[in-house]
A and B are shown apart, each in its own frame.
Chain A
Amino acid sequence: MLLQIHEPGETPAPHELERSQAIGIDLGTTNSVVAMVSGDHPEVLRDGSGDGLVPSVVAYVYDEPIVGKQAQAELAHHPDLVISSIKRLMGRGAADVKKLAGALPYELAPAEEGKPGDKKFGGMVRLKVGDQILSPVEISADILKALKLRAEISLGHKVEKAVITVPAYFDDAARTATKDAARLAGLEVLRLVNEPTAAALAYGLDSAAEGIYAVYDLGGGTFDISLLKLQKGVFQVLATGGDAQLGGDDFDHALAEWAMRRTGITGLTSGEAKILLQAARAAKERLTTASGAELKATVAGHDVRQSIDRGTFEILIEPLLGRTLRACRQVLEDAKLTVSEVKGVVLVGGSTRVPLVRAFVADFFKQQPLADINPDEVVAVGAALQAKALTQGSETLLLDVIPLSLGVETMGGIVERVIERNTPIPVTKAQDFTTYQDSQTGMLIHVVQGERETVDACRSLGRLELTGIPPLVAGAARIRVTYAVDADGLLTVSAEEKTTGVKAEIAVKPSYGLTDDEMADMLRDSLTYAREDMEKRLLLESRVEAERVLLALNAALKADGALLSPQERAEIDRVAQIVKELVAGDDRVRIHAAMEDLDRATHDFAQKRMDRAIQMALRGQRLDEVEAGMATDGAQ
């Protein structure tokens, strides 16, 4: 294959387009959706019967996991082997798992001392599924693989890149877990986009809306409320809030518990809890359109048959909706806005189909909410639009914020905030600390996330140890701790002792995410992400880098080629030609070597260009006069 070099802004050749095609995935608690933009139109990828929703249910009945409707169908026969609502466990510890009247709808794997899952270690829960022990990351990866396959079948070629949405209120551990799951599924994550932001993107582009909009996103397991300002193609999140443990699932729980109280059933097994919850969900869905429904299930040797009318159901869920409104009030306060300044309210998530939810939202925001785009699909559509923007460019821009404050533990278990919630990302902040004991040579930096003042009430994200601090008197060392949050909302913490330059850095994942070793083990096990794939990626990155160097050299030669003698020019052209030829091949090591040669070959040329600029400056011709214009041009 010959490499095609195109000027910036020129459209890439068709085969490159295909290579760079990326999908948008809404990885939901109850349902997942995959979409992509073909031509200019985003499109949800559907199954043979036209259904875009893939139930986020995985059955481990046969050798290969089954995902979606077929997995759901296995629940009645193999409740122990069917897993749903796994999203609620992403990045979570055993203590976070919601029980149904004391019964877990999952079977947790026993914790091993010193391993993730062990209480002392922290770590993510693991599930016992038949004779396998699986982490939420692996189960989510199985869902992602199914979505990837659906896209590949529909497109007729491989798909390797995706934008994946996460609840805006997801913390760092849950975001990292989601990214890990994508890696396991063989997908490169171009960006984690917050669900309400993705929905706003789809909605705003569709309706050319301008002004301040609220996105009320009540999904299966999470609730988000975001306020965005839409103007001239920029989607700026002003504030976001919510509850990462509140969703339609909780409606099911409320119904199931009500039925248990009415029938006096207690002591369910985890399989029975799943069956009862599924029956509750079916009743809830009927109550969306009907005024009454019957909850039917056979559990614990009882035939449960309970008629419920919509009024009773509404009494059961009202406290949950009250919690969503508290979050709405908080987010308005954070953005320093009042309800009257909100131009529109967009409903997202299957749970917003519940009539009482709509009534609550309309009453709170004093206007009828908008739901003209299918609330189950709008997030995936937004993800697909962003996937296109990140591969082929776009006129729109998303500016998002961090949902939860990030801090560090100080003396007495008090949290010192380093980055406040609702700070626009990407963001970097540093704070200086010192030692509190004479001759202290190490420092443990405990990174936490949350709004509460004590460490116990916040989520622990990880611990970073800085060693090798010179032994000084207490208070003499200067330790700068830097928090960097990237555009995915993921945190990296680094620490440096300023007087000696001793450094330490972690991508924050240990206590609730997977350790690097575990990830490596899983990647080894996974067929979709073999070593060759890794090599291929590195090769691609080298090619892109070489292409960049050649383009930059071309531009430099065009501008300042006159500074070179014919011999010098010939030498540069010769070495550049070698790079060009190697780029067409697939030897990454030789590409690198040739690039180093090119770097040496152009060294004098670069020197000449700088020298001439200095001379021009001495003669009074100011370079910045030319470039000030350039800078302004660029910013248009």
Chain B
Amino acid sequence: MAVVEKIGGAGAGATFVPCWSCKGPVASRALFCHTCGAVQAPGSTDHFTRLGMAPGFDLDDEKLEKQYLGFQRVLHPDRFAGKPAKERLIAESQAVALNEAYETLNDPLKRATYLLGLKGVNSEVTEEKTVNDPALLMEALEKREALAEAESADAIEDLMISAGTTAIQLLSDISLAFAADDLAAANRSVLRLKYLRKFLEEARLRRAALES
């Protein structure tokens, strides 16, 4: 049962490091030592490679989950019952790396931000970026005002539904922008989506406060 498919494998760099356990050579991204079988430290690589996924914004959710679970199945510290503490710690660092990769790739917004970062575009939200995009600032202000004026849970629900619809549209814009390699457009939509997510979170809190 080949649960996990590894793209790029141990890499084209042909670099190797000594195995921590038997000290023999191991390819730098191998999960296990081919000589003694000991699990190896995660090493640094991008999240796509770590989970054996082709880098890109559009990805198969089901496959991503399958890859993640497949790697956890062999690398999670619970799989190292009765092994020395050192080996379990290394497995734990593998599980941490897998969780980080999965958490990033599984959420389209985090995935887009991360992908932009890989391509050298910093899409962190900063003050000046907002000011540089008056349309975005305007939209954020209007939404916030509407939320402040909403007096019932139902009114907030309506605002949330409309924001949710915009969010879905933005995801498809981001996908198209990445497909066309238009990073500036992708970045604009990512920023808008970040504001929208924040707005949705605030709306949820307000709704909860109104309900209780």
Binding site for B on A (CB under 8 A): 8, 12, 20, 191, 231-232, 234, 236, 326, 333, 389-394, 397-399, 423-428, 484, 486-487, 541, 544-545, 547-549, 551-553, 555-556, 559-560, 602, 605-606, 609-610, 612-613, 617, 622-628, 630-632, 634-636
Contacts and interface: CB of A to CB of B under 8 A. Distances in A.
Given A399-B76, A610-B24, A635-B70, 12 more contacts: A399-B72, A423-B99, A425-B99, A428-B96, A544-B82, A560-B35, A602-B23, A606-B23, A606-B24, A612-B25, A631-B27, A635-B74
Contact of A636 (B3, B19, B76): B3
Contact of B83 (A12, A398, A548): A548
Interface string B77-93: 11101111111000010
Contact of A624 (B30, B81, B84): B30
A215 to B, nearest CB: 20
A447 B23 CA distance: 40
Chain A at the B interface: mostly helix, strand, loop or mixed?
A: helix
Interface in B50-88: 69-79, 81-87
14 contacts: A234-B69, A427-B96, A544-B85, A545-B86, A610-B23, A624-B29, A624-B30, A627-B27, A628-B30, A631-B29, A632-B2, A634-B74, A635-B6, A635-B75
Given A544-B84, A628-B10, A609 B99 contact: no
A378 to B, nearest CB: 20
Given A427-B99, A556-B36, A624-B10, A634 B81 contact: no
B25 A613 contact: yes
Given A609-B25, A613-B16, A624-B16, A555 B32 contact: no
Given A424-B102, A635-B4, A609 B24 contact: yes
A393 B73 CA distance: 12
B58 to A, nearest CB: 19
A536 B42 CA distance: 32
Given A425-B99, A624-B14, A20 B24 contact: no
A397 B73 contact: yes
A431 B21 CA distance: 32
Contacts, number: 173
A398 B4 contact: no
A232 B70 CA distance: 10
B74 A636 contact: yes
B30 A630 contact: yes
A552 B30 contact: no
Contacts of B35: 555-556, 559-560
Contacts of A425: 99
A634 B32 CA distance: 7
Nearest to B8: A628
B14 A617 contact: yes
B81 A424 contact: no
Nearest to A605: B23
Contact of A545 (B24, B27, B84): B84
Interface of B: 1-6, 9-11, 13-14, 16, 18-19, 21-27, 29-32, 34-38, 69-79, 81-87, 92, 95-96, 99-100, 102-103, 204, 212
Given A333-B204, A397-B72, A624-B9, A559 B84 contact: no
B64 to A, nearest CB: 13
A424 B68 CA distance: 12
The winner among A392, A609, A630 for most chain B CB atoms within 10 A is A630
A635 B21 CA distance: 20
A627 B99 contact: no
B72 to A, nearest CB: 6
Nearest to B71: A635
A609 B179 CA distance: 46
Given A390-B81, A548-B21, A623 B27 contact: yes
Contacts of A552: 19, 21-23, 36, 38
B38 A426 contact: no
A231 B3 contact: no
Nearest to A544: B84
Contacts of B29: 624, 631
A627 B38 contact: no
The winner among B5, B78, B102 for most chain A CB atoms within 10 A is B78
A269 B14 CA distance: 76
A636 B73 CA distance: 8
B10 A631 contact: yes
A631 B32 contact: yes
A612 B24 CA distance: 10
Contacts of A326: 212
Contacts of B18: 606, 610
Given A389-B81, A487-B95, A630-B30, A234 B86 contact: no
A484 B96 CA distance: 9
Contacts of A626: 34
The winner among A8, A389, A394, A555 for most chain B CB atoms within 10 A is A555
Contact of B30 (A549, A553, A631): A631
Given A555-B22, A609-B23, A632 B9 contact: yes
Nearest to B86: A545
Contacts of B81: 389-394
A587 to B, nearest CB: 19
Contacts of A392: 81-82
A544 B21 CA distance: 13
A634 B11 contact: no
Contacts of B96: 426-428, 484
Nearest to A612: B25
B84 A632 contact: no
A487 to B, nearest CB: 6
A609 B36 CA distance: 13
B99 to A, nearest CB: 5
A20 B82 CA distance: 8
A234 B5 CA distance: 18
A424 to B, nearest CB: 5
Nearest to B30: A627
Contacts of B23: 552, 556, 602, 605-606, 609-610
Nearest to B25: A613
Contacts of B4: 632, 635-636
Contacts of B73: 234, 397, 635
A228 to B, nearest CB: 13
A622 B87 contact: no
Contacts of B25: 609-610, 612-613, 623
A335 to B, nearest CB: 12
B72 A234 contact: yes
A426 B99 contact: yes
A8 B71 contact: no
Closest 7 CB pairs between A and B? A628-B9, A624-B10, A606-B23, A613-B25, A635-B4, A552-B22, A624-B27
A423 B103 contact: yes
B85 A487 contact: no
B106 to A, nearest CB: 10
A426 B84 CA distance: 18
Contacts of A602: 23
B11 A624 contact: yes
B168 to A, nearest CB: 13
B22 A556 contact: yes
